[in-house]
Amino acid sequence: MLDPAIVFASVLNGLTTGAVYALIALGLTLIYGVLHIINFAHGAALMAALYGVYFLHQKAGVDPYLALPLMVPAMFGAGYLLYRWVIGRASHGRDENILLVTLGIAIVLENLALYLWRSDTRTIETAYTFAMVPIGAAMIAAPKLAAFAGALCATAALLYVVTRTDLGRAIRACAKERQGARLVGIDVEHVFAMSFGIGLACLGAAACFLLPAYYVNPQVGSGFVLIAFTIVVLGGMGSFVGALAGGLLIGVVESLGGLWLGESLGQIGIFLIFIAVLLFRPQGLFGARA
């Protein structure tokens, strides 16, 4: 059997990777929970955010973590406009239409990036890129620990906004009963756009935490899409705690899977979980029945 120290390190790595996955999934689950749309452009938007963080660092020397107050509002604005101008207009009722529209947006973003910046994989180097922190017998990369902390904070922040603020109340109203919300004077389209914006803002944060320990190229987003959906479905559509728990769980599954089955086969566990959850327990761990 495998050395417990290696398994321990693998689990820790999985948790920190999973935290970043959770950050990505948080936005996705909010968008699904409120707008009931499956945002296929989520991965591509993350890729765009990663490029944003990358260029801020390369051209303006902005440290990724310091870029947070720039990226988060920027992504929020982009999401708000994207919803208002494109997605909101394409509704027409059928939810498959939204799926196709977000797919179209994903295709546009990915290939625009390909055209503008070619397919080279890019990374950044900062003072702490290689810093390691000892935890128990394992050494964990400092950026990944920061990501873990970031995910916890983001979950807490989202929970606060949704449960304690007026916007949050409006969001919950629109999520539960669109017509009723309109009848009490809530500007539903505005609330939806806000929610979509918040969802993309989470990606802005995720990008800041992700880039120091990862890389960016135009295809990077599509690699995250299915994983993010798996987490959202596993945790339960619309549940933030579920996205966090699901993210951590999937991160560990991927890490341990890679350990036991090798890099290539390791990811298969994630997709099998996805299929199994959709077939046998579509409401996930924490979600309400769809």
Partner 1 sequence: MRPLALIAGLAGAVALLPAVVESGFVLNMAIMTLYTALIAQAWNILGGFGGQFSFGHAVFFGTGAYAMAVLQVKLGLNAWLALPVALTLGAAVGAMIGALTFRYGLRGSYFALVTLAFAEVFRILANTFQFTGAGVGIQIPLRESAADLQFAGKPGFLFAILALTVASLVIAWWLKHSRYGAWLQAVRDNEDSAAALGVDVFRVKLAAIALSGALMSAGGAFYLQYFRYVDPHIAYGPAISVEALLAAIVGGMGTIFGPLLGALVLHGLGEATRSLMQNAPGINLVIYGVLLVLIVMFLPRGIAGLFGRKA
- Which spans of this chain sit near partner 1 (rule: CB under 8 A)? 38, 86, 89-90, 92, 95-97, 99-101, 103-115, 118-119, 218, 222, 226, 229-230, 233, 262, 264-265, 267-268, 271-272, 274-275, 278-280, 282
Contacts of 149 (CB under 8 A, 6+ apart): none
Pick the closer one to partner 1 by CB: 5 or 108: 108
Closer Cβ to partner 1, 79 or 218, answer by number = 218
**Alpha-carbon separation of residue 284 from 97, 123, 275 (angstroms):** 24, 35, 12
With respect to partner 1, which residue has the nearer C-beta, 54 or 274? 274
CB-wise, 85 or 130, nearer to partner 1?
A: 85
Task: Please report how close the Cβ of residue 120 comes to partner 1 at its closest, in angstroms.
Answer: 12
Name the minimum Å distance from CB 290 to partner 1. Answer: 8
User: Smallest distance from the beta carbon of 282 to partner 1, in angstroms?
Assistant: 7
**Cβ(219)–Cβ(264) below 8 Å:** no
CB of 263 to partner 1, least distance (A): 10
* Least Å from the CB of residue 213 to partner 1: 23
In the complex, the smallest distance separating the C-beta of residue 132 from partner 1, rounded to whole angstroms, is 30
**In this structure, are residues 166 and 37 in contact, taking their beta carbons and an 8 Å threshold?**
no
